[in-house]
Amino acid sequence: MKKNVKKVVLAYSGGLDTSIILKWLQDEYKCEVVTFTADIGQGEELEPARKKAISLGIKPENIFIEDLKEEFVKDYVFPMFRANAIYEGEYLLGTSIARPLIAKRQAEIAAMVGADGVSHGATGKGNDQVRFEMGYLSMNSDLVIIAPWREWDLNSREKLLAYAEKNGIVIEKKPGKSPYSMDANLLHISYEGLVLENPAAEPEEDMWRWTVSPENAPDQSEVIEITYEKGDPVALNGVKLSPATMLAKLNEIGCKHGIGRIDIVENRFVGMKSRGCYETPGGTIMLRAHRAIESITLDREAAHFKDEIMPTYAKTIYNGFWFSPEREMMQAAIDKSQETVNGTVKLKLYKGNVSVIGRDSKTNNLFSEAFCTFEEDEVYNQKDAAGFIKLNALRFIISGKNRRNQGKA
């Protein structure tokens, strides 16, 4: 049953789906539509979205195109990487981490323009519908949420194209555009559909849009140095960079060396398994570097505790609970741990591989050569280890005696 709504803010890309949704909202809900296009580093020219919206009757003052790249990396990507978050052991959460920011800003624009509704183009089969709507509800639960894919019968590309033709919606076919279902931002690009729907089929090489294949990457390795402050990368090869510039530079270097390709089958929150391919070049480099600097600056139990909560933290983001109290609680603990994560990491990049070749911290180094050396030292009495081992084995000693006594009975 349709709810009455006067003005709706639509998450709008200017592509086939959201252009049709724009017209469909006007026709089905008889409402005023405001478009919001977020630049989070997807690498596409966004001004055509403005022209497309105007051609579909949107007033210029109702078109919002905003550069959110710095906010995206600083307030979403970097906090996630402080946790070393990976979903199901492989996925670096590139799409998952972008949705909360888009939803938050969409709800803020709704408040600015006096809209009573929001809309998105996520399907009823995927995770994004949850991520968007969790964000809306966290910001303003009074907003009417319109998810066209759960309402209309335009459930195939053929029907969408027919609707576009009937309503005079121009769908431009860009040269070289991939036929796969893709999502891109400054952290990653994803691919779904077509041959990928068969998990046994190898992806076609021309599918990959960012990275050179590892086989064709340069035969000469490249060494880079990343400087960390409180768990965040702040300089590359000694040059200070903003968060978005840092990630963009690491992407550029990683793409050249064929770094960050993965092909996985993941468990969606809505229940089914899904096969997807991802390119996350800069993120793959950052993850390796961050774990390296943590290895010499984090206390053992703090590091182990982080590793224990990381899968829960990653699942929380994947499932769309970025604004939840539990994510904020985990984030507070993670951020506290990062106060000592300061220093530099040297990495060697070569044909799809990222190798750590050095790490150092002038202020927070817990690696003590005096204690760990294999040469003679004056700070560690090796005889102390005997008591340490015996005390830790006490429960084994007691249970062993019990087993032997039972054997005699």
pLDDT digits (tens, 9 = 90+) for 19-51: 999 999 999 999 999 999 999 999 888 989 999
Query: Is residue 4 within 8 Å of residue 65, measured between CB atoms?
Result: no
pLDDT at residue 331 tops 70? yes
Options 178, 181, 221, 324, the catalytic residue: 181
pLDDT at residue 174 tops 60? no
Query: Is residue 189 within 8 Å of residue 262, measured between CB atoms?
Result: no
Which tens digit of pLDDT belongs to each residue from 252-292?
A: 999 999 999 999 999 999 999 999 999 999 999 999 999 99
Share of the chain above pLDDT 70, in %: 96
Options 13, 17, 288, 327, the catalytic residue: 17
Let me know if 128 is a catalytic residue: yes
pLDDT at residue 394 tops 60? yes
Let me know if 183 is a catalytic residue: no
Options 82, 119, 128, 131, the catalytic residue: 128
What does the pLDDT read at residue 157? 76
Q: Chain-wide mean pLDDT for the chain?
A: 94
Arithmetic mean of pLDDT, 77-94:
98
What does the pLDDT read at residue 295? 98
Let me know if 335 is a catalytic residue: no
Contacts of 302 (CB under 8 A, 6+ apart): 337
Pairing of strands 7-11, 117-119: parallel
Arithmetic mean of pLDDT, 107-122:
98
Query: Does domain 7-75+91-166 sit in CATH 3.40.50.620?
Result: yes
| CATH domain 186-298+341-360 topology | Argininosuccinate synthetase, chain A, domain 2 (3.90.1260)
Options 50, 82, 99, 261, the catalytic residue: 99
What does the pLDDT read at residue 377? 65
pLDDT at residue 177 tops 60? no
Arithmetic mean of pLDDT, 146-169:
90
Arithmetic mean of pLDDT, 196-217:
96
Cross-strand pairs, 184: 189
The residues spanned by each domain of the chain are 7-75+91-166, 186-298+341-360, 380-408
Q: How far apart are CA 173 and CA 187, in angstroms?
A: 25
